[in-house]
Amino acid sequence: MRFTLIFIGILCFNACQPDGSNEPKRLKTAEIDAKVANSWFSLSLKLAKETPGFTAPVAARAFAYTGLALYESVVGGMPDYHTLQSHVTNFLPATVPEPKNSTDYHWGVCANRAMALMLTNLYKNTSAENLAQIKTLEDQFEAEFAATTSQEIFDRSKEYGDMVGAGVYKYSKTDGQDEAYNRNYPATYNVPSFAGSWIPTPPTFQTIPLQPNWGNVRCFVEENAAGVAVAAHPPYSTSASSIFYVQALEIYSFKETITNDQKNIAAYWYDEPGKSATPAGHAISILKQLLEVNKSNLATAAEAYSKLGIGLHDAFVNSWKSKYKYNLIRPISYIRAQVDPSYQTTLSTPPYPEYTAINAVQMAATAEILSSFFGSNTTFTDRTHVSRTDINGTERVYESFYAAAEEAAFSSMYAGHNFRSAIENGKKQGALVGKNVLAMQFRK
């Protein structure tokens, strides 16, 4: 008898407004905490680290489409916001159906189903164990949400999440990069050769550079699509009085002067694929931590993950556009040829051209976007690498997102990977990418 009364009470709560009317209580996205979003992005970080072929640009793409699907699955419960269809490049109206105005949805259920579908499709080449984790996480939230809503609303919401996930995944395939993890080093690419051009670098001497056509990948933001303007690097020169030579000597000087803290910084922001979730994943990790610390709701999380994911993706496309436009030699190759044949970098050099510095670009974009959510002078602690034992992953504290971006940018100089001009101009490039994302019309 007691159980029956409780059950009737739950039905009444779900069916009635506080004023006693028979209209359904319209649940808003902001009434749900961000746990479901954070849990799915936590799993996506694991998948990006453990799935073959998820190099930095490929991972950034996956985070972007995952964030877009999250946002689209819950925006129907955000009265002041609208779908990004018609606001994102080639994301056409009706790609994702609008929820019915006359019916109620549980936005957590919608998000859960959309995320499960996206991760299953984006990481389809991951291990069987990881695919099983996707199903386990989906089942976990289904059980949690089913206990708080009616079967009718649950079924309707799951169906809607399925349609959103399917629509966004179908949209993702139109950028030509579905399963890009299988094409990181295309054999058909002809490596340019001229004075000062990129050449294979130790230790692997990979002859085809990473994703040489990524600069042509579709951007989400129209203003980023044509390429964010970036100044040219100093003219290549072997003259000891040239800016190019002087910048090479600046890096070479770290052979004798680099401090332990600078070595730690280089390793902390290196985010090598397979050992971390890549540099883009590091930025996503910071956002996840902030959302958890601030006990943010699902609406805030959906907007933040979508903006940051889009910003990271477009940052990589723009940096890659510059890298393969200039095809510039890496410091280790120049220094060995002009200064010291025995020179070794602090960390092995990634297999792609030098200009612009991707850590500078993507973290500058990140700083712009995160500052818009949490404030430009927010002090925060980054615990991304605390569980790692191959580097000093001790948590690091930053006075602002711009301070973190500055450290990340110059980490590549300490590592021996980038000249100063690639860092300074990369920061400018990334900041513009981030500002273009913030100029998008999310609100009505």
Segment holding 248, helix H or strand E: helix 243-252
Domains present along the chain, CATH in parentheses: 20-173 (1.20.144.10), 194-438 (1.10.606.20)
Evaluate whether 142 touches 159 at the Cβ level (below 8 Å).
no
Token representation of residue 115: 């995320």
Residue 259 pLDDT: 98
Mean pLDDT computed over 353-368: 98
Dihedral sign from CA coordinates of 52, 56, 57, 62: positive
Evaluate whether 192 touches 100 at the Cβ level (below 8 Å).
no
Token representation of residue 179: 């399963």
Token representation of residue 128: 């069987």
Mean pLDDT computed over 311-325: 97
Whether the per-residue pLDDT at 5 is higher than 70: the answer is: no
CA nearest to 432, candidates 217, 212, 215, 231: 231
Confidence band for 328, pLDDT divided at 50, 70 and 90: very high
Residue 3 pLDDT: 37
CA distance 106 to 355: 47
CB atoms within 10 A of CB 345: 21
Residue 226 pLDDT: 77
Residues 86-118: tens digit of each pLDDT: 999 999 999 999 998 778 999 999 999 999 999
Long-range CB contact pairs, 221-226, < 8 A, 24+: 221/88, 221/89, 221/310, 221/314, 221/433, 221/436, 221/437, 221/440, 222/89, 223/436, 223/439, 224/314, 224/317, 224/318, 224/433, 224/436, 224/437, 225/89
Mean pLDDT computed over 17-34: 68
Residue 102 pLDDT: 72
Whether the per-residue pLDDT at 432 is higher than 60: the answer is: yes
Whether the per-residue pLDDT at 65 is higher than 60: the answer is: yes
274: left (phi over 0), alpha (psi -120 to 50) or beta: left
CA distance 84 to 64: 13
Mean pLDDT computed over 154-171: 98
Whole-model pTM: value is 0.94
Residues 35-64: tens digit of each pLDDT: 999 999 999 999 999 999 999 999 999 999
Whether the per-residue pLDDT at 15 is higher than 70: the answer is: no
If you compute the radius of gyration of the chain from its CA atoms, what whole number of angstroms results?
23
- Kindly report the average pLDDT of the chain as a whole number: 94
Residue 229 pLDDT: 81
Whether the per-residue pLDDT at 312 is higher than 80: the answer is: yes
What residue type is assigned to position 93 of the chain? P
